[in-house]
Amino acid sequence: MKLLRAWRYLLLSIAALAALAALAACGGDDDEGGGTATPGGTATPAAGTRIEGGELTVATVEGDKLDPHQSSFATEISLERMLWRAAYTLDGKDVPQPAMAAALPVISADGLTYTIKLKSGLKWSDGNDLLAEDFVMGILHTCNPVIAGEYQYVLSNIVGCDAHFANEAGFDAALEAAIGVKEIDDLTYQITLANPQPTFTMILTMWPTFPVPVHLFPNSSDEWPAPGPAYPAALAYNGPYIATEYEPGDHATLAPNPNWKAEYSPLNAAPTLDKLTLRFIDDMAVADRAYEKGEVDFANVNLTELKALRSKFEPTGEYLRVLKPTTTGMEMNLERPPLDNLDVRLALVRADDHELENEVCQQGGQVPSTSWLPEVVKGGAAPDAFAAQIGHDPVKAREHLTKAGYKNADNPTGKDFPVLTILVRDTPSAKCSAEWHQEQYRKELGIETKIEIVDGPTRSARFKAEDFDLFPGGWQQDYPDPENWIIGLFDTGGGNNHYNCSDPDIDAKVKAAQFNTNETERIKLYSEINELIVTRVCGIGPFLHVADHYLIKPYVVGMGENSNGQDGVIAGDWIAETWGRSE
């Protein structure tokens, strides 16, 4: 009987513990209340005195590839810029400066030939000499069709690069030999362009031009290893860090490159950390919990928790907000009536209250705007620059709809407006944005729209096939020049112009700007194009400039101070040699 009682007590105890665990789990409260965010406001983490040594663990998202000549995602490029550098690098103001090069390129009088002289004594991390042939191979590798680099297009203006890349039969020695890049001597190489390109020095800061260690990969078709445990030892590096460990899906560990010199950095910096760990975490909410627990020293803020996290960490100086060169807006398929009618497009744009949408769907985290080009981009405009033409104004919106002949509160006898579909990606903020617009159109214009929610690849495929009416989308800058925001996006037949913007005025100005070597004139042209895009709603009605939101421990130095938004994945990751600890 005693045994029976003990056995029952044991069972009861386990049952009670299980029930308690369930109840404890119900006791939590994920409070998202907090302070109000102020667009444009920033806080800088307190920077103490830097110490030599120490470790940092940074939450980030893992990229796919780890060959810069194949890469296209910001997450990949973030890590690659820690491991390699091009001949040139952007400084904190996005101006190209010599990195591995000894000076800015010598450009021929016709603007077609760039001669680049490297610094002497450059070494790969494994001790081998870093030579001009390595930089030549970097370009040949990117132009090679077998490598299938996703950003090859930035090298399109190099003579022969497109011809080889588009060769259906794959690698061709003769086509490769015809590419306009050659080694002059061990420290000098030369690039020949098809057209003068004012932005080409900036292109030479980009990852498709990073050098290839020819002593490890002697042919342009040689594949770099896939990111995995064997990756770190199989490569040589010329960036501020070397990879020491790579566990896919979990983390990468970096250490300072012994052959890096501060003079290669635009900020004259060399790593002071002993160890830098990139912890791969896809879910920002998880990264934020790890930050709160102290398991990582840096994390991006999950936008749906922005207000709560901001109110918690802004007072301690751990919250940082950086405006990023990204604009989102409502893209409209101009080949689908009634969106071919400018008045209809203006009605839709003016019905939308961007300020309120930012508060409702973005936790006040972004910057409402009426300009496609952000102010930080040359030729860009202030967020309210076009408020008079496309800003929120329900009365004007209804006037435009009336002018287009459609029924609304001010024009009850007009014709019925067709039901348009908003094609949206399956994310909380995207769905919120779609619902917001649907409600705004209903409230201000009295028109109905449908929302179609799909996953990312489906949405991209539908966009490419031009199978959409309304499409909340946008653009993130690849390099800091207005041409990157306009060419291919708004010129007739442009590769990314799936909203079918076709405006002779825009086309003429793009043609005049693209290879214009007069910088003032070029920027003025892009500024005018920006105005045309916006006021004619030529494919997109801008509504927000995007900001990044970071959590950085107070003892971290060099991150917040050197973040300018171009980096975007981790604060200041394009100049990660400045990262360190103050304790």
Residues 50 to 69: which contact another protein by CB under 8 A?
A: 64-66
List the one residue from 128, 458, 502, 582 that touches another protein (CB under 8 A).
458
Of the candidates 102, 146, 360, 451, which one interacts with another protein according to CB under 8 A? 146
CA gap 484, 72 in Å, rounded: 15
Query: Which structure tokens are listed for 477?
Result: 């800058």
233 binds another protein (CB under 8 A): no
> Toward another protein, which CB reaches closer, 166 or 356?
166
User: Which residue in the set 464, 492, 518, 583 belongs to the binding site for another protein (CB under 8 A)?
Assistant: 464
Asked if residue 18 binds another protein (CB under 8 A), the reply is: yes
Nearest-approach distance from CB 421 to another protein, in angstroms:
15
Options 267-275, 415-423, 451-459, 554-562: segment touching another protein (CB under 8 A): 451-459
CA 558, distance to chain mean position in Å, is: 20
Nearer to another protein, 66 or 131 (CB): 66
Taking the complex as a whole, the smallest distance from the CB of residue 360 to another protein amounts, in Å, to 23
The smaller minimum CB distance to another protein, of residues 460 and 492, is found at 460
Cα 209 from chain centroid? 18
DSSP string covering 76-126: HHHHHHHH---SEEE-TTS-EEESSBSSSPEE-TTS-EEEEEBPTT-B-TT
How far apart are the C-alpha atoms of 343 and 211, rounded to whole Å? 51
Instruction: Out of 55, 185, 282, 335, point to the residue binding another protein (CB under 8 A).
Output: 282
Q: Please select the residue that binds another protein; options are 32, 55, 185, 250, rule is CB under 8 A.
A: 250
Q: Give SS3 for 432.
A: helix
Is residue 415 within 8 Å of residue 406, measured between CB atoms?
yes
Is residue 119 within the footprint of another protein (CB under 8 A)? no
416 binds another protein (CB under 8 A): no
d(Cα 365, Cα 262) in Å, to the nearest integer?
36
Site string for another protein, 308-347 (x = CB under 8 A): ----------------------------------------
Closer CB to another protein, 447 or 501, in the complex: 501
Binding footprint of another protein, residue count (CB under 8 A): 76
Interface with another protein, residue 453, by CB under 8 A: no
60's enclosing H/E stretch is strand 55-60
Return the residue of 202, 242, 276, 296 that touches another protein, per CB under 8 A. Answer: 296
Beta-sheet strands, E only, within 211-357: 241-247, 251-256, 275-280, 298-300, 319-332
32 binds another protein (CB under 8 A): no
What's the order of all strands across the beta sheet hosting 188-192?
Answer: 106-107, 113-117, 188-192, 181-185
Answer whether 80's CB lies under 8 Å from 300's CB.
no
Cβ proximity to another protein: between 444 and 567 the closer is: 567
Interacting span for another protein (CB under 8 A) from 3-11, 45-53, 115-123, 132-140? 3-11
Contact range with another protein by CB under 8 A, out of 111-119, 140-148, 316-324, 340-348 = 140-148
Give residues 491-510 in contact with another protein (rule: CB under 8 A).
495-496, 498
- Of the listed pieces 194-202, 331-339, 469-477, 553-561, which binds another protein according to CB under 8 A? 469-477
Q: Which of 261, 289, 312, 524 binds another protein (CB under 8 A)?
A: 289
Residues 510-549 that bind another protein (CB under 8 A): none
Question: Does the protein bind another protein through residue 460 (CB under 8 A)?
Answer: yes
- Side chain identity at residue 558, one-letter code: G
| Binding of another protein by 428 (CB under 8 A) | no
Report the C-alpha gap between 35 and 308 in whole angstroms: 7
List 261, 280, 314, 452, residue binding another protein (CB under 8 A): 280
Decide: is 356 part of the binding site for another protein (CB under 8 A): no
- For the CB of residue 30, give the shortest distance to another protein in the complex, in Å: 7
Work out whether 398 is an interface residue with another protein (CB under 8 A): no
Q: Which of 383, 452, 385, 373 has the alpha carbon at shortest distance from 419?
A: 452
Instruction: Pick from 33, 412, 457, 493 the residue near another protein by CB under 8 A.
Output: 457
Interface residue with another protein among 126, 186, 292, 528 (CB under 8 A) is: 292
Which range in 159-167, 185-193, 428-436, 553-561 contacts another protein by CB under 8 A? 159-167
| Long-range residue pairs from 523-529, CB within 8 A, at least 24 positions apart, any chain | 523/378, 523/379, 523/482, 524/379, 525/379, 526/373, 526/378, 526/379, 526/482, 526/483, 526/485, 526/486, 527/373, 527/379, 527/380, 527/381, 527/482, 529/482, 529/486, 529/490
Secondary structure class of 430 (helix, strand, coil):
helix
Given 218, 228, 315, 337, the residue binding another protein (CB under 8 A): 228
465 Cβ neighbours under 8 A, 6+ residues apart: none
Residue numbers 187-226 binding another protein by CB under 8 A: 223, 226
Cis peptide before 198 (omega within 30 of 0): no
Indicate the helix (H) or strand (E) that contains 24: helix 2-26
Query: Least distance in Å: CB of 147 to another protein?
Result: 8
Chain centre to alpha carbon of residue 100: 25
Q: Which stretch binds another protein (CB under 8 A): 114-122, 264-272, 281-289, 555-563?
A: 281-289
Percent helix, strand, coil in the chain, to 5, is 35, 20, 45
